[in-house]
A and B are shown apart, each in its own frame.
Chain A
Amino acid sequence: MSDVTLKVSEQTFGEVFNLVYPGKSLKFKGESPGAKDAAIKTSETSTETSKSKTYLNVTVPWFAIDAELHLVAANGIEFNDGNTFTINEIDIAWDKLILKVGLDIPTMKFGGFCLFKVPKSVPVFGGQCALEVPPIDLFTKTPDIEIPLDLSPIFKSIITEISAICSIEIRLENEKGKDYWAVHPDPIAVDADLVDIHDTLGQAPAILYAAVGTIVLNFQAAFPATWVMDVFLGFVGLPTMTSLVLDVLDIHDDIEEWLMKALEQSIGIDNLLMEVIFDAILDGDAVFKTPKLFEILEEKKVKPDELGGFAVAAPAGDVTLPAVSFPVIKPEVVFDDDEMVLTFDFEF
């Protein structure tokens, strides 16, 4: 039999969990994998015709997110068999979610050719170039186009539900020079689900078009010679810059579907959520702590005339009686029915 037994009910454990964990801001970032390597096929050689076709060399769209959220509450804690417990439906609230969409288009050399040559029949100037397109490098940045979509207004109203299965771990921790036995949830599995997000993305098209329009305007501002852009757009066969961006990003009529595909498949937001929640639980505060040295009598100053038994005459000033502490050893936690059972011994 252990010296001390403490049992905590599921309900109380949940109340403590909901006081210790929620409210903390969790920040995370992520980007789509392989953005720099994966590329749309750039050329094709037909053996039948021995002809080579060249396509636009464009990498697949690059996605990144910059997010911040906080835990609201766990809707229930359930102690399981096998010394684990399930945190049901941890509600999280989004404080920030910025989705960045980008394209890294290979650098293209453009211009350096004569757009209008003076007919040879013209005396003196005949055969000379009257209007030369200057040579310029296009798409030199990485990514060349980056569109930040601030989805915070949409996501602020979304409560995302996450569930986690945790075991219990007792760690020896030091806080302000004092050792504690700390009871921590140790996550085994985390399940994140962006529930019903499709129904709440009504503002997404407006945000997307506004962002793309802004980017295109900025892009055109960088190239004042609009006739050059017209030539370029004609070269790639697209009517407008906005259409080009939307098309290259594979954005068509169903914005919501495209957005969800970007978040879930390209970014893998579910996995990122799992990781950040996993780390938050793992690195979070303990749900229960007990000092490694259980202080039963605190340090005390007393007047020496109240005490005796000194080796010599009583000292002149106050006497300090040191604290008396019991070392706490062999702490263990198990789940028994609907209770968490913490046991430990004193070492005397």
Chain B
Amino acid sequence: MADIYGAITDSAINRAIKFLMRWRPALFNFVAPSQYPTFDGNGYFTGFGERWLTCSSVKWPPGVDHNTFPRYTRQDPLKMPGVVGGGIPFCAQITDAKIDFHPSNTIDLPVALTPPLMNQRFAVWADVSCGVGCPTDALIDALLDAHFYAHSKFKLTPDLFNQMTLDVESLICFSLELFATGRLYTQPQPGPSNPPVTEIRVAVNGVEVQNVRPNGLEDAVECYIRMYIRAYVLPKLVLALEPIIVKALGVTFTPTLTSGLPNNPAIEQNELRVWLDVDVTKTKTSGS
């Protein structure tokens, strides 16, 4: 028998996600703002202003100061060859999301992910609003002129322009539904820790984007999202079983996964479950 068993339901996690969306919107809304030049009263250039353009409006949580509470996380603009004005502004907003632990009962998986959800798997669904800025022809003409003028008259390099983001006043918006399935696995934490620390990690088995047309674009988006999830999101979703100091009790719990179980951690009965053996010791205080 394990010393400690813990379980949390997918329902609780889904409510937590909605709670976080409300109170930390910057975690779910990513924006590369457009930039526009600013001038003083005499018409001299003074710098750049920013437009934080989104496709889906984001409210401030109640009671916060709108002047100091951020709603978006800054992203670098999209860089593409031939864009004379620097990067392309965009936004990516997760407007809704939920998780479903086996057995699946809240997410209808698309055929591409071979429903029903397999044992010990979880499914994730997200509704994503995306937008990309597209400069007007007039702006493109102006940028080309400025680019030529700066280069021919003042020998300025294109770097100046590459550091800018295109000045647009709206985004071309589209939305998509993202589905993913995954599982948990464990591995020793890299490094010379003794005893070795076990990490609980997330692996993604399948990603499917729906409602993006044409299919080629959908495949490209899926490819990018799969890469983004594996390279950026999953490395952050690691739970290392390191000693837990409970200051209130003055004790330290050093957990290890209970061995000999078919699945530990497990995703079953709509819960994420983990069985731990713990070594309980008095917390050493400084000076003792």
Do A324 and B19 touch (CB < 8 A)? yes
Contact partner, B7, options A4, A297, A314, A339, Cβ 8 Å: A4
With both beta carbons as reference points, the residue of chain B lying nearest to A1 in the complex is identified as B9
Query: How many angstroms between the C-alpha atoms of A308 and B26 in the bound complex?
Result: 8
The yes or no answer to A15 lying at the interface (CB within 8 A) is: yes
Contact status of A19 and B68, CB under 8 A, knowing A9-B3, A12-B3, A308-B33: no
- Which residues of chain A in 1-51 are interfacial with respect to chain B, using CB atoms and an 8 Å cutoff? 1-9, 11-12, 15-16, 19-20
The yes or no answer to B187 lying at the interface (CB within 8 A) is: no
Query: How many angstroms between the C-alpha atoms of A315 and B9 in the bound complex?
Result: 40
Do B8 and A4 touch (CB < 8 A)? yes
The yes or no answer to A345 lying at the interface (CB within 8 A) is: yes
The yes or no answer to A89 lying at the interface (CB within 8 A) is: no
Most buried by B among A2, A175, A315, A348: A348
Query: How many angstroms between the C-alpha atoms of A346 and B20 in the bound complex?
Result: 13
**Chain A nearest Cβ from B97, distance in angstroms:** 14
Do B248 and A3 touch (CB < 8 A)? no
Say which size band chain A's interface belongs to: 35 or more
- Interface pick from B69-77, B127-135, B192-200, B209-217: B69-77
Contact partner, B29, options A19, A302, A309, A346, Cβ 8 Å: A309
Do B6 and A5 touch (CB < 8 A)? yes
Contact status of A346 and B12, CB under 8 A, knowing A4-B6, A9-B2, A12-B3: yes
Contact partner, A175, options B50, B248, B282, Cβ 8 Å: B248
Most buried by B among A1, A289, A309, A339: A309
Contact partner, B18, options A4, A19, A322, A348, Cβ 8 Å: A348
The yes or no answer to A285 lying at the interface (CB within 8 A) is: yes
Query: How many angstroms between the C-alpha atoms of A141 and B74 in the bound complex?
Result: 86
Do A310 and B66 touch (CB < 8 A)? yes
With both beta carbons as reference points, the residue of chain B lying nearest to A300 in the complex is identified as B24
Contact with B along A288-302 (1 / 0, CB 8 A): 110000001100001
Do B15 and A319 touch (CB < 8 A)? no
**Chain A nearest Cβ from B257, distance in angstroms:** 15
Do B3 and A180 touch (CB < 8 A)? no
Do A346 and B2 touch (CB < 8 A)? no
Most buried by A among B1, B67, B70: B70
Say which size band chain B's interface belongs to: 35 or more
Contact status of A309 and B71, CB under 8 A, knowing A12-B278, A285-B249: yes
Query: How many angstroms between the C-alpha atoms of A296 and B4 in the bound complex?
Result: 21
Do B70 and A286 touch (CB < 8 A)? no
Do A308 and B71 touch (CB < 8 A)? yes
Residues of B within 8 A of A312 (CB): 67
The yes or no answer to B161 lying at the interface (CB within 8 A) is: no
**Chain A nearest Cβ from B102, distance in angstroms:** 15
Do B26 and A307 touch (CB < 8 A)? yes
With both beta carbons as reference points, the residue of chain A lying nearest to B71 in the complex is identified as A309
Residues of B within 8 A of A3 (CB): 8-9, 11-12, 15
Residues of B within 8 A of A310 (CB): 66-71
**Chain A nearest Cβ from B189, distance in angstroms:** 22
Most buried by A among B6, B18, B271, B280: B280
The yes or no answer to A321 lying at the interface (CB within 8 A) is: yes
With both beta carbons as reference points, the residue of chain B lying nearest to A324 in the complex is identified as B23
Contact partner, B70, options A175, A304, A345, Cβ 8 Å: A304
The yes or no answer to A132 lying at the interface (CB within 8 A) is: no
Do B19 and A326 touch (CB < 8 A)? yes
The yes or no answer to A279 lying at the interface (CB within 8 A) is: no
The yes or no answer to A305 lying at the interface (CB within 8 A) is: yes
Residues of A within 8 A of B250 (CB): 19-20
Do B1 and A338 touch (CB < 8 A)? yes
**Chain A nearest Cβ from B227, distance in angstroms:** 23
Do A311 and B248 touch (CB < 8 A)? no
The yes or no answer to B16 lying at the interface (CB within 8 A) is: yes
Contact with B along A252-296 (1 / 0, CB 8 A): 000000000000000000000000000000000111110000001
The yes or no answer to B180 lying at the interface (CB within 8 A) is: no
Residues of B within 8 A of A175 (CB): 248
Do B249 and A16 touch (CB < 8 A)? yes
The yes or no answer to A137 lying at the interface (CB within 8 A) is: no
Contact with B along A321-334 (1 / 0, CB 8 A): 11010100000000
Do A9 and B4 touch (CB < 8 A)? yes
Query: How many angstroms between the C-alpha atoms of A345 and B12 in the bound complex?
Result: 8
Query: How many angstroms between the C-alpha atoms of A119 and B43 in the bound complex?
Result: 141
The yes or no answer to B5 lying at the interface (CB within 8 A) is: yes
Do B72 and A289 touch (CB < 8 A)? no
With both beta carbons as reference points, the residue of chain B lying nearest to A180 in the complex is identified as B248
Contact partner, B280, options A16, A289, A315, A346, Cβ 8 Å: A16
The yes or no answer to A199 lying at the interface (CB within 8 A) is: no
Contact status of A319 and B9, CB under 8 A, knowing A286-B248, A324-B19, A346-B16: no
10 contacts across the A-B interface (CB closer than 8 A): A5-B5, A5-B6, A5-B8, A12-B278, A285-B248, A289-B246, A304-B70, A306-B73, A308-B70, A326-B16
Q: Closest 7 CB pairs between A and B?
A: A309-B71, A307-B70, A3-B12, A311-B66, A7-B5, A309-B72, A12-B3
B residues adjacent to A (C-beta < 8 A) = 1-9, 11-12, 15-16, 18-20, 23-26, 29, 31, 33, 50, 52, 58, 64, 66-74, 246, 248-251, 270-271, 278, 280-282
**A8-B4, A19-B251, A338-B1 given. 9 additional CB < 8 A pairs?**
A4-B9, A4-B12, A15-B280, A20-B251, A180-B248, A304-B70, A309-B31, A315-B67, A339-B1
